[in-house]
Amino acid sequence: MELAFGMLDWTPETFWNATYREFHAAIRGRAEMLQAKSGGGGSHRKMTGREKADLLAWTKDMQAKYPDGPSIKAKG
């Protein structure tokens, strides 16, 4: 929910009415927009190991809850 409210500026109603697929697409689109605005992402810091682990755990939880959502595979 932090991503929906903070990064996407969604209302609670928008968040709760969105499907996992819509939520994922919105996050991906926002990240691409921010990367383009920053000139390709050179100024972004890399995620820490803990952040990667937390994101992967959250993704697996969401995939279990919403099996019709997009498949996400961890890199490296």
How far is 72 from 69, CA to CA, in rounded Å? 9
pTM reported for the whole predicted model: 0.49
Q: Which residues of the chain have pLDDT under 70?
A: 38-45, 47, 69-76
Q: Return the pLDDT at 61.
A: 80
Q: Return the pLDDT at 52.
A: 81
How far is 74 from 59, CA to CA, in rounded Å? 10
Q: Return the pLDDT at 64.
A: 81
Q: Return the pLDDT at 25.
A: 87
Q: Return the pLDDT at 74.
A: 53
Residue with tokens 């383009």: 36
